[in-house]
Amino acid sequence: MDRGAVPSLFLVLVAVAGLGGCKLEKHLATNDGGGQGQQVVSSSPGGDMDVLVADIWAKQVLPHLQQTATDMAVLGDAIAADLDTAGEAHGYRPSSEGSPWNFAVRVQGTILAAKTDSRAATADVDVTADGKADVILQLGPVIRGTALRDILPFVDFSSFTDQIEFAQLSRSLNTRAYESALKDLPRDALVGKTIDVIGAFTVRGGGPPYLITPVSTKMGGS
């Protein structure tokens, strides 16, 4: 081997080795759904999703949901008329084929019933004042589903190490929602109270009541 080539080969090997532990960079989102101008959330190998969520919660997650939430009374009628039209106007879904529509929503209504004897506690809320539940609020501490992750256009699977890490991101978002918006609700005095919620839900083909994951809650009187 030419002696002059040895230093060059060494530099190439060092550069390649350095790529193994590099952190994915953030870049501006260009997808639709209110995410334009948002920084795409990325992870580094073995990253702590709880730490990542703590970093983006107040800066990206809450502002996005607050700015894009549609009133549930309006949204319910739109979904009933045509899901895809409602989704194109008010929702977001990842670009992968077959992905369901996700919606940011504002719920203002009266709590008709509450099931708080389970770790997956819920409350039924009447939005249209017809005496029937239009939505079911998840109260936790067990929060089901991936709506909070899937409503965010600045979160993309390709920016994460693997499916396990992407699933952990969803769990961390759900845990943060419980800790910040649901943990301190007066669970023994919910029925009959009014509530104002910002949250998200996913529509997979079924009708109301829709299962909402709240990120902010305000309780009113009876």
Q: How many helices (H) and strands (E) does the chain have?
A: 7, 7
Locate 94 and state its tokens.
């990842």
Report how far residue 50's alpha carbon sits from residue 171's, in angstroms, rounded to the nearest whole number.
9
Of the candidates 94, 130, 90, 138, the residue with the CA atom closest to the CA atom of residue 110: 130
Strand ranges (E), 42-188: 70-71, 91-92, 101-115, 120-126, 135-141
Q: For residue 210, which phi and psi values (nearest 5 degrees)?
A: -90, 145
Question: Total domain count for the chain?
Answer: 1
Please tell me the predicted confidence (pLDDT) of residue 35: 43
Establish if 78 belongs to a structural domain.
yes
Answer for the pair 193, 110: CB distance below 8 angstroms, yes or no: yes
Please tell me the predicted confidence (pLDDT) of residue 221: 74
Establish if 111 belongs to a structural domain.
yes
> In 10 A of CB 161, how many CB atoms?
14
Establish if 101 belongs to a structural domain.
yes
Establish if 7 belongs to a structural domain.
no
Give residues with Cβ within 8 angstroms of 48, minimum separation 6. Answer: none
- Profile the chain (222 residues) by mean pLDDT over runs of 10 residues: 45 36 33 50 68 93 97 96 95 82 97 96 96 97 96 83 85 97 93 97 90 96 72
Locate 73 and state its tokens.
């009374």
Q: Which residue has the tokens 């959330």?
A: 41
Establish if 40 belongs to a structural domain.
yes
Please tell me the predicted confidence (pLDDT) of residue 71: 98
Answer for the pair 2, 13: CB distance below 8 angstroms, yes or no: no
Give the domain CATH number at 66.
2.40.50.420
What residue numbers bound the domain in which 55 lies? 23-219
Establish if 171 belongs to a structural domain.
yes
Establish if 69 belongs to a structural domain.
yes
Please tell me the predicted confidence (pLDDT) of residue 45: 57
162 SS3 class: coil
Q: Which residues are registered as beta bridge partners of 210?
A: 135
Report how far residue 51's alpha carbon sits from residue 190's, in angstroms, rounded to the nearest whole number.
32
Please tell me the predicted confidence (pLDDT) of residue 47: 64
Q: Which residue has the tokens 């009187």?
A: 221
Answer for the pair 84, 103: CB distance below 8 angstroms, yes or no: no
Strand 101-115 to 91-92 pairing: antiparallel
Strand 101-115 to 70-71 pairing: parallel
Please tell me the predicted confidence (pLDDT) of residue 122: 98
Please tell me the predicted confidence (pLDDT) of residue 98: 76
Strand 135-141 to 194-203 pairing: unpaired
Establish if 12 belongs to a structural domain.
no
Please tell me the predicted confidence (pLDDT) of residue 155: 84
Please tell me the predicted confidence (pLDDT) of residue 97: 61
